[in-house]
Amino acid sequence: RNLLKPSNGDPFMRFFIYRAFPSAPTQLDSIASGTLPLNANDFLADSIRAVRVSMRSTNGLTGGDERITEMSRLITMKNAGMRTLKTCGDGPILTASLTATPGLDVSGDPIVTLLWGASVDDGSGENDVQRYVLWRRNVSLGSAFGDPLVSVPAGTGNTYVDSEVDAGTVYQYQVAAQDCTPALSGGIISLNAVVP
């Protein structure tokens, strides 16, 4: 209510982009007011690097009691134009189940086929999931999960065939998603797999 247009006729807001000129170095140049407003599909909308805000403010009185202050500020967009960094965000999340299906391969040797659901962070844009880490333990011997059995790169299918198993043995498997820090998600443990 007490804001007035700038006295020099400038608009309230002027938008600036970097322009390269043949005879001068790259510099900030204003976008012509005839091209405004910009819509989201206009390439210029993503090229704005600064905004100049100009206005006058009045105390609302009239005549000799009126006081007017004029201001103009150039506000730079510090993060505009920066390249997107590929970073690890928060730790990966894995909530899907892990199935361990015992069977025989084509030559009759025992195998366990592992299948798990992808992490919700897999393919999210950041490096939140780079691989899935699998562990195996021999339930028949009462052993714990030790060193990882194998890691499977993210995006290559969420399956693995374990052919290093013994017939008549009970195994249990665990899977976790791993990001680039390399933090691990919580582990998902399979039901027991009884190898034939």
Q: Residue 85 falls within a domain, yes or no?
A: no
Statement to judge: residues 179 and 109 lie in one domain: yes
Q: Note whether 14 and 46 are within 8 A (CB).
A: no
Q: Residue 113 falls within a domain, yes or no?
A: yes
Sequence-ordered alpha helix ranges (H) in the chain: none
Statement to judge: residues 103 and 72 lie in one domain: no
Statement to judge: residues 62 and 128 lie in one domain: no
Q: How many domains does the chain have?
A: 2
pLDDT tier at 127, thresholds 50, 70, 90: low
Statement to judge: residues 65 and 136 lie in one domain: no
Sequence-ordered alpha helix ranges (H) in 28-171: none
Flag whether pLDDT at 137 surpasses 80.
yes
pLDDT tier at 88, thresholds 50, 70, 90: low
For the ranges 83-97, 146-160, 162-176, the lowest mean pLDDT is seen at 83-97
Q: Note whether 130 and 118 are within 8 A (CB).
A: no
Q: How far apart are CA 104 and CA 113, in angstroms?
A: 10
Q: Residue 152 falls within a domain, yes or no?
A: yes
Q: Residue 56 falls within a domain, yes or no?
A: yes
Statement to judge: residues 57 and 125 lie in one domain: no
pTM > 0.85: no
Per-residue pLDDT at 49? 80
Share of the chain above pLDDT 70, in %: 88
For the ranges 7-16, 75-84, 90-99, 171-180, the lowest mean pLDDT is seen at 75-84
Q: Residue 190 falls within a domain, yes or no?
A: yes
pLDDT tier at 22, thresholds 50, 70, 90: confident
**Residue 127 sits in a domain of what CATH number?**
2.60.40.10
Which residues form the domain of 134?
98-194
Statement to judge: residues 109 and 62 lie in one domain: no
Q: Note whether 4 and 57 are within 8 A (CB).
A: yes
Q: How far apart are CA 77 and CA 6, in angstroms?
A: 23
* Mean pLDDT, all residues of the chain: 85
pLDDT tier at 80, thresholds 50, 70, 90: low
Per-residue pLDDT at 185? 92
Q: Is 21 exposed, middle or buried (0-12, 13-18, 19+ CB in 10 A)?
A: exposed
Q: Residue 91 falls within a domain, yes or no?
A: no
